[in-house]
Amino acid sequence: MSTRKNFIGISMRACACVLLCSSASAQSTGKLRLLVDPGHDFAFVLDGKHRMQSRELDLLEGNHRLQIWAPTRTIVDTTVYVRGGSTRELLIRLPFSPEYRAHEEELRKFRGRLVLQKALPTVVTVGAGAWTLAAYLKYAKAGKQLDTDEELYRTSADPAEIAELKYQSIPEHQDDFKKANTMLIISGSVFALAAAGTIWSYLRAGNAPAPTFDDKERVRFDGLVWVPSADGHGTWLAGLTLPLR
């Protein structure tokens, strides 16, 4: 009888040890190391409850859900199994969000428009400036030629030369001078207008608002641990934030 009681006692203690070992095994923890691209400024929600920022986690053995996000990136929702007493590395690359890619394209077009708004008036102004310079050189040459004719007319003692200057050379060169003067006025006016237009274009381009990025994925991520209430407000579920290590 005593032997039987001893056997029963030993059996019960053995069963208790097995249960304790099983319980300890079930509650054992493992380490999860996150290798995320981008490697900075990312955050995640653990098991739908805890918002965190950490590269290493000590978790109970079992499956854990991670919803990972970073600015300009799409949320990646994944489940990972952590084994007790071991370390697991999880490599994840967060893709750029469609909204960010659309923003980049819109920004590229915006910059192209700015370049166009500045380049075209600048080209016109440079062309008008070159035209004005050429007109001025022609005007100066015609004026110099007319001065030479008038000086020769005053100092010449040759009647034939004087007659040629009076009735042919001087009238022709006066006409050339008038045409050069008119062209200089026109080209100078065009240059002034082009320069004013260029200044206005630069000012307008400088004041043009750049496209803004609306990160809808961030709004979604912020809402993962947000529970709305009946009064229109809400509460955060375990909004825990840890510094990146």
Which of the following CATH numbers is that of domain 27-97+215-245: 2.60.120, 1.20.1630, 1.20.58, 2.60.40?
2.60.40
Residues 6+ apart with CB under 8 A from 90: 32, 33, 34, 35, 66, 78, 80
pLDDT by residue (tens digit) across 189-211?
Answer: 999 999 999 999 999 988 989 99
| pLDDT at residue 102 greater than cutoff 80 | yes
Instruction: Categorise residue 42: left if φ over 0, alpha if ψ from -120 to 50, beta otherwise.
Output: beta
| pLDDT at residue 85 greater than cutoff 80 | yes
What's the pLDDT band for 25 if we cut at 50, 70, 90?
Answer: very low
Q: Give the separation between CA 67 and CA 226, rounded to whole angstroms.
A: 14
Q: Give the separation between CA 215 and CA 218, rounded to whole angstroms.
A: 5
Domain ranges (residues) in the chain = 27-97+215-245, 99-207
Residues in the chain: 245
Residue from 96, 36, 87, 101 nearest 59 by CA: 87
Residue from 198, 227, 176, 233 nearest 48 by CA: 227
Q: Domain 99-207: state its class.
A: mainly alpha
CB of 131 within 8 A of CB of 190? yes
Q: What is the mean pLDDT of the chain?
A: 84
What confidence score (pLDDT) does residue 160 get?
85
pLDDT by residue (tens digit) across 126-163?
Answer: 999 999 999 999 999 999 999 998 888 888 888 888 88
Q: DSSP code of 166? A: I
What's the pLDDT band for 237 if we cut at 50, 70, 90?
Answer: very low
Q: DSSP code of 38? A: S
| pLDDT at residue 182 greater than cutoff 60 | yes
- At 58, which amino acid appears? D
